[in-house]
């Protein structure tokens, strides 16, 4: 039976970043991915925003890793030629009473190491003349990135450092073997191997993977909640050059406007809690009838949105650790100190800002595993 130092389960943006970090630290790495291509789950179905770290609880993993990850991501994209743009973001108050949010947003952002600038109406309209608002907060460090180009670059770096990618290789079972694991995968070319470290970066399927690891305590596997978000795109050319977010509302950040690198606008996501928490049952279809609710929200800050200007784009699903009405849960990056099982790192609830945080998450995982290769 073949042996490797590290098996990474999942080839989304976080799994690829982890594989790169571990391989560049000198470890022998295999990445097992259940699908036929990399990054086809949550990593391919998001806003592609480089978040600044504004909304997360100070000191949380989401806040810390987002801020660190943003710095790392901009530097990496510049170094590797990954398409990206530091376009900035406006958080807008469409009514005077919405400004009540500004102090709390600014204070939280500053506690996380992010500075926001207050813009009065005329200043905001000089940036975005099509906007309707009474004032805005300006986040200069928010941006956008080509997530697929980013993942391709990560895979290339990981493979150059010796990592091996195995597609169509879902984890079927893992069992303890001394201080490591024996792992069996399914698929067309299923294999069995021994690894010293098993790193679960399976995203939507992280809980399923953990439940297939014999010897891992079920009490250490958090409950999974699935939240589907729909996106609509604009049929016409966008008048905006920057991202636009309304002030938060109870239950979410509102229907925000993001841009792709070609300047095309898309709106979303909304939040639909799925009763079925099995990620293999997800239907990613977008109901066109949702456009009316989107349009009503968008017209709060862009009243000139034309009728029938929106068209269904795509949807994504977040692997959340908290359900409807519950306080937002933090990332879980659980090593042996958290769950007591040697040679194991479990990543649960890696939703937004997971893309932005991916390189910082990878550094955190590499720190848990340690930088010195261990023989198989």
CATH number, position 183: 3.50.50.60
61 assigned to some structural domain = no
How far apart are alpha carbons 303 and 112 in whole angstroms?
33
pLDDT, tens digit (0-9, with 9 covering 90-100), for 197-256: 999 999 999 999 999 999 999 999 999 999 999 999 999 999 999 999 998 754 456 789
**Preceding omega of 269 cis (within 30 degrees of 0):** yes
* Average pLDDT score, the chain: 94
Nearest to 319 by CA among 42, 38, 8: 42
Whole-number pLDDT of residue 266? 96
Measured between alpha carbons, how far is residue 195 from residues 5, 239, 340, 342, 343 in Å?
5, 53, 17, 12, 9
Give every CB contact of residue 36 below 8 A, 6+ residues apart in sequence.
167, 168
Domain range for residue 286? 89-140+224-320
Percent of the chain's residues with pLDDT above 70 = 97
Examine the domain organization and report whether 241 and 308 are in the same domain.
yes
User: Taking 80 as the threshold, does the pLDDT of residue 271 lie above it?
Assistant: yes
73 assigned to some structural domain = no
187 assigned to some structural domain = yes
Task: Judge residue 144's burial from the number of C-beta atoms within 10 Å of its C-beta, 0-12 exposed, 13-18 middle, 19 or more buried.
Answer: buried
Examine the domain organization and report whether 234 and 296 are in the same domain.
yes
- The pLDDT of 261-280, averaged and rounded, is 95
114 assigned to some structural domain = yes
Percent of the chain's residues with pLDDT above 90 = 91
234: DSSP letter: E
Examine the domain organization and report whether 160 and 123 are in the same domain.
no
The torsion defined by the Cα of 280, 281, 285 and 288, in degrees rounded to 10, comes to -150
pLDDT, tens digit (0-9, with 9 covering 90-100), for 342-367: 999 999 999 999 999 999 999 999 99
User: Taking 60 as the threshold, does the pLDDT of residue 373 lie above it?
Assistant: no
113 assigned to some structural domain = yes
Task: Judge residue 91's burial from the number of C-beta atoms within 10 Å of its C-beta, 0-12 exposed, 13-18 middle, 19 or more buried.
Answer: buried
Q: Number of folded domains in the chain?
A: 2
Whole-number pLDDT of residue 372? 40
Examine the domain organization and report whether 213 and 247 are in the same domain.
no
Whole-number pLDDT of residue 242? 98
pLDDT, tens digit (0-9, with 9 covering 90-100), for 91-128: 999 888 888 889 999 999 999 999 999 999 999 999 99
CB 127 within 8 A of CB 68: no
Examine the domain organization and report whether 155 and 297 are in the same domain.
no
Examine the domain organization and report whether 190 and 154 are in the same domain.
yes
Q: Residue 2, CB half-sphere, CA atoms under 13 Å: how many?
A: 11
Examine the domain organization and report whether 306 and 243 are in the same domain.
yes
78 assigned to some structural domain = no
Examine the domain organization and report whether 113 and 136 are in the same domain.
yes
Examine the domain organization and report whether 242 and 291 are in the same domain.
yes
How far apart are alpha carbons 82 and 242 in whole angstroms?
19
126: DSSP letter: H
Examine the domain organization and report whether 129 and 235 are in the same domain.
yes
Examine the domain organization and report whether 125 and 189 are in the same domain.
no
CATH number, position 245: 3.30.9.10
Whole-number pLDDT of residue 252? 58
71 assigned to some structural domain = no
Whole-number pLDDT of residue 95? 86
Question: What single string gives the DSSP state of each residue in 290-342?
Answer: GHHHHHHHHTTT-TTPPTT-EEEEEEEEEEESS-TTSPPPPPEEE-HHHH--T
Examine the domain organization and report whether 167 and 312 are in the same domain.
no
Nearest to 335 by CA among 347, 320, 351, 353: 347
Whole-number pLDDT of residue 374? 34
What values do phi and psi take at 14, rounded to 5? -75, -45
- The pLDDT of 254-278, averaged and rounded, is 94
Q: Specify the higher pLDDT residue, 98 or 39.
A: 39
56 assigned to some structural domain = no
């Amino acid at each position: 039976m073949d042996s490797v130092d590290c098996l990474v389960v999942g080839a989304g943006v976080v799994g690829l970043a982890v594989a790169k970090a571990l391989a560049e630290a000198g470890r022998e790495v295999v990445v097992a991915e259940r699908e036929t291509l990399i990054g086809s789950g949550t990593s391919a179905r998001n806003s592609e925003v480089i978040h600044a770290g504004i909304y997360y609880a100070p000191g949380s993993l989401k806040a810390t890793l987002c801020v660190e990850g943003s710095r790392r991501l901009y530097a990496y994209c510049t170094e590797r030629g990954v398409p990206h743009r530091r376009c900035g973001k406006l958080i807008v108050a469409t009514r005077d009473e919405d400004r009540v949010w500004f102090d709390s947003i600014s204070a939280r952002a500053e506690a996380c190491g992010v500075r926001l600038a207050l813009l009065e109406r005329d200043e905001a309209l000089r940036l975005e003349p099509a906007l309707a608002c009474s004032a805005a907060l300006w986040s200069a460090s928010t941006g956008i990135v080509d997530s697929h180009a980013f993942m391709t670059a990560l895979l290339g770096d990981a493979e150059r450092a010796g990592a091996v990618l195995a597609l169509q290789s879902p984890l079927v079972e893992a069992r303890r073997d001394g201080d490591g694991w024996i792992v069996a995968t399914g698929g067309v070319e299923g294999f069995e191997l021994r690894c010293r470290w098993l790193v679960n970066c399976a995203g939507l399927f992280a809980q399923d993977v953990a439940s297939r690891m014999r010897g891992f305590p079920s009490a250490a596997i958090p409950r999974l909640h699935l939240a589907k978000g729909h996106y609509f795109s604009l049929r016409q050319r966008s008048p905006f050059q920057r991202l636009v977010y309304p002030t938060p509302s109870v239950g979410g950040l509102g229907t925000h406007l993001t841009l792709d690198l070609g300047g095309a606008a898309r709106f979303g996501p909304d939040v639909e809690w799925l009763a079925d928490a099995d990620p293999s049952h997800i239907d990613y279809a977008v109901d066109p009838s949702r456009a009316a609710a989107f349009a009503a929200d968008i017209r709060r800050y862009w009243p000139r949105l034309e009728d029938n200007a929106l068209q269904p784009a795509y949807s994504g699903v977040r692997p959340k650790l908290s359900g409807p009405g519950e306080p937002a849960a933090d990332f879980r990056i659980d090593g042996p100190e958290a769950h007591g099982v040697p040679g194991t790192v479990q990543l649960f609830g890696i939703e937004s800002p997971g893309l932005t945080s991916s390189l910082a998450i990878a550094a955190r995982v590499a720190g848990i595993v340690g930088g010195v290769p261990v023989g198989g």
